[in-house]
C-alpha cells in the first residue's frame, strides 16, 4: 500500500533543502540543481504511484497520522495527511510541474553565483506546498500556507541587493499576512462552531446544518479573505505584478502553477461550507469576476513581458474564483490544472526569451524572434493558443466549462466574463505578435547574442506544451459523448453537485462563437501589430487619458500608498519618537542617570577625613543607645 509512504513525498524536498543549503558553496550548478530536481522527481514518482491506487474504484480517503502534535484538553490536532482524490491531483500537479521547473532552472540559473541558495529555497517551497495540499486539518494546511508565503518572500527577493526587489518581496509577504489574518479568524470561528479543525469532522458536522447559517457564512468569508491574499484577488492583488522581480522560474512555479492556486484548493476542499452558504459564494463570484475583468484591462497596456503574464495570472485566478462562486468546484480545479500547464509554459517561455535577449524584458525592444528561437516560439504559441481558448488545446475546455456554468447562474456575469475572454485573447496575442514577429527592435549587442536556450530549458517547455495541448481531454463536455474524467474522479469530495447543465444547443453556440471570435481577434491583432507595425508607446510619449489609466494600473498602488502606507508610516514614526525613544528609552536611560546622580551625591560621605568617620561612629552609637532605651 503506497499510501503508507505518503510521508516521503514532502520529506524528500525538505531533505533537498537541507542538503543543498548546507553544502552551499561546495556544489556546482549541475549538482545543486540535480539534487533538487531529483528530490522533487522522486516525490513525483511516489505521488504517481499513490495516484494509481487512489484512482481505482471504491477507494476511500486515507488518513496517515505522523505524530500527535497539539493535544491540550479537548483540542487535539494531530500532524496527519489526508490522501484522497483531491489531494492526489494537487500532488501530481505540484510535483510534476515542480520537477519541470527545477529542471528548467538548472539551465536558467547556470550563470548565477548563488545557485545553491536558489535551489534550496525552491525545494523548501515544494515541501511547504506539499504540506499544504496533504494536510488533513486546517492547521497543517496553515503551516504549509505560511511556509509558501515565506518561500515566496525569499525567492522574490532572491537578488536582495537590489532594494526594489527586496521591497517587492516585503510587499508580497505583508499582503499575504493580511490575508492570513482572515484565514486564522475563520479557523478560530470554525473551532468555536464545530469544536474541531479536522476536515472530516468539520465537514460531516456542517452537512447537518441548514442553509445560510450565519456562523458558516462568516467562516466562509473569513477563509476567502485568506484566499484573496494568497491568490491575488481584489483588493490584495498588487503584490503579484511586483513579484515579477524574482527570477522567472520562481514566477512560473509560485505565481502561476502552485502557490496562487492554494486559495482555490482551500475553497474546493471546503466546498461543503461554501455550498451551505450561497451569500458567501456569491461574494466569491463577484470578487472573482471583478478581478478577472479588471486585471485583463490592465494587461492590455503593459510592456514588460512578465507583467503581462502576471496580470493574466490575476485575471485567470479571477476566473477560477467565479467558477467556485457559482458552485462549479470541479470546473475550478480543472482550470487550475490547465492553467498550471499553460501559464508555467508561458512564463518559462518568457524566461527563455529574456535569457536569449541578454536580460531584456521590454517587448518594445523585441520582435522577429521567431527564427532565432524556434522551440521557444512554437511552445509559446501553443501556450498562447491554450490560454486564448482555441480547441483542442487545454484552455478551451476548462474556460468553456466555466462560461457554461456561469451562464446557468447569471447571464450578466456571463457577458462580463465573455468580454474578459476577448480581452485575454487580445492581450495575449498582442504579446505574441510583438515578441516573435515584426522587425527586431533591440540593440546590435542583443542581436548578436540571440541563441536558442539549452536542452535543460527547452525540454520542460516541450513537455508543458504537450500537456497544454492534450490536458483538456480529461474534462470533455457532455455533448461530445466522452466521459468527463475529472468530474467523475472528483465526485466523492463534492458535497452537492449542481445538476443543472447547459443545454446542448447553448454549448454548441458558445463553442462556435468563441472559436470564430478568436480567429477574428488573431487576424485583427496580427494586422494591427504586424502588418501595420504599430508599436506600443515609449515611456516618453504621452498617452491619452484612458490608456494612461490602464498603463499605470489604475493607480491602485498609489492609492494604497496614500491611504494606508503613508498614514501607517507616520504613525510608526510618531510611536518611535515619542513612545519608544521618549518613554521607554527615557525610562531606562533615566533610571541609569538618576542612579548615577544619587551615587554621585552619596559618595561625598567619604570625605577621607578621619574626624568625620569617628564622629559618624559616635552618632551611630548614641542612636543605638537611645533606640534600645525607647524600644
Chain contacts with other proteins (rule: CB under 8 A): 603-611, 614-615, 618
Q: Which three cell numbers stand for residue 417?
A: 466574463
Nearer to other proteins (CB atom), residue 568 or residue 625: 625
Closest to other proteins by CB, 512 vs 607, is 607
Beta bridge partners of 75: 72
Smallest separation (angstroms) from other proteins to the CB of 602: 9
Distance CA 424, CA 417 (A): 10
Q: How far is the CB of 162 from other proteins (least distance, A)?
A: 59
Q: Shortest approach of other proteins to residue 601 CB, angstroms? A: 11
CA distances from 186 to 133, 180, 388 (A): 18, 10, 36
Give whichever of 576 and 615 is closer to other proteins, judged by the CB atom: 615
Full DSSP string of 65-119: EEEEEEEETTEEEEEEEEESHHHHHHHHHHHHHHHHHHHHHHHHTTT-TTHHHHH
Task: Give the position of cell 510587499.
Answer: 171
Give how far Cα 245 sits from Cα of 50, 249, 432, 574, 593, Å.
36, 11, 21, 32, 49
The answer, yes or no, to whether the previous bond of 267 is cis (omega within 30 of 0) is: no
Of the candidates 372, 378, 101, 364, which has an alpha carbon nearest to the alpha carbon of residue 247?
101
Nearer to other proteins, 210 or 600 (CB): 600
Tell me how far, at minimum, the Cβ of 583 lies from other proteins, in Å. 34
Here the cell at position 199 is 476536515
As measured in angstroms, the least distance from the Cβ of 631 to other proteins is 23
65 phi/psi in degrees, rounded to 5 = -90, 125
Nearest distance in Å: CB 615, other proteins: 6
Distance CA 412, CA 406 (A): 9
With beta carbons less than 8 A apart as the criterion, state whether 11 and 111 touch: no
615 to 606, 612, 619, 620: CA distances (angstroms): 13, 5, 6, 9
Closer to other proteins by Cβ: residue 575 or 612: 612
Closer Cβ to other proteins, 26 or 603, answer by number: 603
Q: Based on CB atoms, which residue is closest to other proteins, 1 or 605? A: 605
Nearest Cα residue to 460 out of 332, 346, 590, 368? 346
Q: Which is nearer to other proteins, 605 or 630 (CB)?
A: 605
Query: For other proteins, which is the closer residue by CB, 605 or 631?
Result: 605
Q: How far is the CB of 611 from other proteins (least distance, A)?
A: 6
419, 293 contact by CB (below 8 A): yes
Strand partners, 65: 80
Separation of alpha carbons 239 and 153, rounded Å: 11
- Closest CB 622 distance from other proteins, rounded Å: 10
Distance CA 84, CA 77 (A): 19
Residue 574 beta carbon to other proteins: minimum distance, rounded to whole angstroms: 45
Considering beta carbons, is residue 579 or 619 the nearer one to other proteins? 619
CA distances in angstroms from 28 to 38, 111, 197, 454, listed in the order given = 15, 11, 44, 17
Enter the DSSP assignment of 581: I
Q: How far is the CB of 610 from other proteins (least distance, A)?
A: 5
Least CB distance to other proteins at residue 627 (A): 19
Q: Which residue has the cell 505578435?
A: 433
Shortest distance in whole angstroms from residue 616 CB to other proteins: 11
Residue whose CB is less far from other proteins, 559 or 612: 612
Closest to other proteins by CB, 411 or 600 = 600
Residue 6: name the closest of 58, 84, 73, 76 by CA: 84
Q: For residues 191 and 587, give the distance between their C-alpha atoms in angstroms, rounded to a whole number.
A: 42
Q: What is the DSSP letter of 276?
A: T
Question: How far apart, in whole angstroms, are the C-alpha atoms of residue 339 and residue 317?
Answer: 9
Name the minimum Å distance from CB 618 to other proteins: 6
Residue with Cβ nearer other proteins (445 or 604) = 604
Amino acid at each position: 500500500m503506497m499510501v503508507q509512504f505518503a510521508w516521503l513525498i514532502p520529506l524528500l524536498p525538505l531533505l533537498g533543502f537541507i542538503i543543498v543549503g548546507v553544502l552551499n558553496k561546495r556544489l556546482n550548478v549541475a549538482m545543486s540543481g540535480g539534487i533538487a530536481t531529483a528530490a522533487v522527481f522522486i516525490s513525483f514518482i511516489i505521488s504517481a504511484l499513490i495516484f494509481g491506487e487512489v484512482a481505482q474504484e471504491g477507494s476511500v480517503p486515507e488518513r496517515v497520522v505522523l505524530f500527535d502534535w497539539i493535544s491540550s484538553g479537548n483540542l487535539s490536532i494531530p500532524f496527519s495527511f489526508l490522501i484522497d482524490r483531491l489531494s492526489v491531483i494537487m500532488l501530481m500537479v505540484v510535483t510534476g510541474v515542480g520537477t519541470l521547473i527545477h529542471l528548467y532552472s538548472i539551465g536558467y540559473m547556470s550563470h548565477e553565483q548563488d545557485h545553491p541558495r536558489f535551489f534550496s529555497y525552491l525545494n523548501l517551497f515544494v515541501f511547504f506546498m506539499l504540506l499544504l495540499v496533504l494536510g488533513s486539518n486546517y492547521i497543517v494546511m496553515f503551516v504549509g500556507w505560511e511556509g509558501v508565503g515565506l518561500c515566496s518572500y525569499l525567492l522574490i527577493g532572491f537578488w536582495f541587493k537590489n532594494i526594489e526587489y527586496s521591497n517587492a518581496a516585503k510587499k508580497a509577504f505583508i499582503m499575504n499576512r493580511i490575508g492570513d489574518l482572515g484565514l486564522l479568524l475563520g479557523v478560530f470561528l470554525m473551532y468555536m462552531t464545530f469544536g474541531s479543525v479536522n476536515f472530516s469532522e468539520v465537514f460531516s458536522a456542517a452537512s447537518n446544518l441548514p442553509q445560510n447559517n450565519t456562523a458558516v457564512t462568516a467562516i466562509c468569508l473569513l477563509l476567502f479573505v485568506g484566499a484573496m491574499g494568497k491568490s491575488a484577488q481584489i483588493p490584495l492583488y498588487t503584490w503579484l505584478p511586483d513579484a515579477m522581480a524574482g527570477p522567472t522560474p520562481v514566477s512560473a512555479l509560485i505565481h502561476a502553477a502552485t502557490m496562487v492556486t492554494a486559495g482555490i484548493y482551500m475553497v474546493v476542499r471546503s466546498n461543503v461550507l461554501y455550498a451551505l452558504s450561497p451569500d458567501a459564494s456569491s461574494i466569491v463570484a463577484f470578487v472573482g469576476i471583478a478581478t478577472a475583468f479588471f486585471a485583463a484591462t490592465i494587461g492590455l497596456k503593459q510592456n514588460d513581458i512578465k507583467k503581462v503574464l502576471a496580470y493574466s495570472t490575476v485575471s485567470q485566478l479571477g476566473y477560477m474564483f467565479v467558477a467556485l462562486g457559482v458552485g462549479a468546484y470541479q470546473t475550478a480545479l480543472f482550470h487550475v490544472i490547465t492553467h498550471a500547464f499553460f501559464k508555467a509554459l508561458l512564463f518559462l517561455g518568457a524566461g527563455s526569451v529574456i535569457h536569449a535577449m541578454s536580460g531584456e524584458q521590454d517587448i518594445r525592444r523585441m520582435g522577429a524572434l521567431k527564427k532565432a528561437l524556434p522551440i521557444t516560439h512554437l511552445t509559446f504559441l501553443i501556450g498562447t493558443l491554450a490560454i486564448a481558448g482555441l480547441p483542442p488545446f487545454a484552455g478551451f475546455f476548462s474556460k468553456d466549462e466555466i462560461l457554461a456554468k456561469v451562464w446557468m447562474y447569471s447571464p450578466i456575469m456571463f457577458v462580463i466574463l465573455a468580454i474578459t475572454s476577448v480581452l485575454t485573447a487580445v492581450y495575449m496575442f498582442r504579446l505574441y505578435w510583438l515578441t516573435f514577429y515584426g522587425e527586431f527592435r533591440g540593440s546590435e549587442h542583443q542581436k548578436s547574442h540571440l541563441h536558442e536556450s539549452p536542452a535543460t530549458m527547452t525540454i520542460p517547455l516541450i513537455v508543458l506544451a504537450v500537456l497544454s495541448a492534450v490536458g483538456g481531454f480529461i474534462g470533455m463536455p457532455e455533448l461530445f459523448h466522452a466521459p468527463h474524467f475529472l468530474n467523475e474522479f472528483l465526485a466523492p469530495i463534492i458535497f452537492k453537485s449542481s445538476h443543472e447543465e447547459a443545454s446542448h444547443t447553448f454549448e454548441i453556440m458558445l463553442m462556435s462563437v468563441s472559436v470564430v471570435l478568436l480567429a477574428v481577434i488573431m487576424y485583427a491583432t496580427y494586422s494591427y501589430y504586424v502588418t501595420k507595425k504599430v508599436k506600443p508607446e515609449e515611456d516618453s510619449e504621452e498617452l491619452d487619458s484612458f490608456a494612461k489609466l490602464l498603463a499605470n494600473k489604475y493607480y491602485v498602488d498609489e492609492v494604497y500608498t496614500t491611504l494606508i502606507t503613508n498614514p501607517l508610516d507616520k504613525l510608526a514614526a510618531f510611536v518611535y519618537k515619542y513612545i519608544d525613544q521618549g518613554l521607554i528609552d527615557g525610562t531606562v536611560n533615566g533610571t541609569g542617570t538618576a542612579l548615577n546622580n544619587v551615587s554621585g551625591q552619596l559618595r561625598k560621605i567619604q570625605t577621607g577625613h578621619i574626624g568625620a568617620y569617628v564622629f559618624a561612629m559616635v552618632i551611630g552609637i548614641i542612636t543605638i543607645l537611645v533606640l534600645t532605651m525607647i524600644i
